[in-house]
Structure 1
């Protein structure tokens, strides 16, 4: 991946297709996205392969490189900020783009208008990057509170399909409601005061969407896809 600093003149013809979700099967979220994302996707936690730190994400597929919720590469549900800013990165020198990312398309929206000013498409990307920049520390603090109270636990997901196959998802974690309900009154009140309870229930309720993902995969298997 070769990044280029975004410049009005150099990238005046760059057009972004923000409907393109590519093949992402797990998309990182920040806590401000839990409520809208939970309406469309299972939200689960996993660990960074390098640091081992937990982070949450929207599950969009059951296998790496396969997004089950796109039609023609396009996503119909809530679009996480990490997808909105796909192909665009914040570096020490400013905003940079990866010109090889599939998000760039001749059919997309331009980043700059004829006067060289930012278009609505670029402003959406900038807003998404701001959400991630401010939301990542809040998300890390939320996870730290979960870990301090031992509320994260591995989730065992084994799915059977009509073709006789079985798929097991490893390395995923969810919030334990049993442990939450066993907290002391003081600890539970602290979660309530910090606004964490609505995030916790949004995450745990969203797990039901795994059944929808399994049904989509099963239907495609039967269709020979």
Structure 2
């Protein structure tokens, strides 16, 4: 449960927020949205694939943290079992809310029911009611994430426009039994290599080729998930 309310220096003057590696709130979410700025780092641990919103047709890159829906293999325990931390894990308990649809102005909000609120955490406001360095840093991170998400949406849309995203069926071996995973999309490497020079150079000039290759290389991490799944089942 969440209780998202605007952050206020009077109402929340005594609130403190802790930072820890307990991300068990994601234990039922096996696909975690990622932004292109973290592709290279995330690809060292997790498969990065794309999923499609059936209502809007928009594609979204996600990191696979489990092989079956509803089970995040990394978040079942309180200690997060990876040195690579998704950016989306680091926003809580804060969020941004637009004043209205026509305005670009935003308000910082906090989930007052979050377990990150602690008497021994980081203060949000000083004695004068001014934001602490901790809150300033977290606020800037939220703003950066909005920008990163917009860039990610635009880049993913470009991949789709060039018809590079194809549905892909992944099969992994679990306890000598194959597990088939559907509903995922990947960059079609064959189509990528067959792009006209002008379109391929466009991707290169925009700096998108490293993102594509990080995504393609990350698919091999599916074996890491299979191994982790097998250990969990034993």
**TM-score, normalised via structure 2 length:** 0.82
Give the SS at the match of 1:74: coil
* Inter-partner Cα distance in structure 2 for 1:44 and 1:114: 43
Is residue 128 from structure 1 mapped to residue 130 from structure 2 by the alignment? no
C-alpha offsets along residues 59-100 of structure 1, whole Å, 9 cap, x if unaligned? 112233322124733323222221100332210240112233
Task: Find the aligned partners of 1:149 and 1:178 in 2 and give their Cα distance.
Answer: 13
**Matched ranges for 1:195-206 at <5 A:** 195-206=207-218
Distance 1:65 1:211 in 2: 19
Matched-pair contact (CA < 8 Å) for 2:93–2:110: yes
Residues 13-61 of structure 1 show CA distances to partners (whole Å, capped at 9, x for unaligned) of: 3423352222142221111111121122111111235423111111112
- Tell me which stretches of 4 or more aligned residues in structure 1 moved more than 6 Å: none
Which of 29, 32, 40 in structure 1 is aligned with 2:34? 29
Q: Distance in 2 between matches of 1:50 and 1:154?
A: 17
Conserved? CA contact 1:15–1:106, under 8 Å: yes
State the aligned residue count: 220
- 1:186 maps onto 2:191 in alignment: no
SS of the counterpart of 1:138? helix
**Structure 1 position 60 matched with structure 2 position 65:** yes
Contiguous gaps of at least 5 residues in structure 2: 100-106
Q: Which residue of 2 aligns with 1:151?
A: 164
Look up the match of 2:46: 41
**Contact 1:18–1:84 (CA<8 Å) still a contact in 2?**
no
Alpha carbons of 1:208 and 1:221: their partners in 2 closer, same or farther (altered >3 Å)? same
Matched, 1:77 2:77: no
Alpha-carbon displacement from aligned partner over 1:125-161 (angstroms, at most 9, x marks no partner): 3243122211122112211221121110112122332
Q: Tell me: CA distance 1:166–1:118, structure 2 relative to 1, closer, same or farther (3 Å).
A: farther
Gaps of 5+ in 1: none
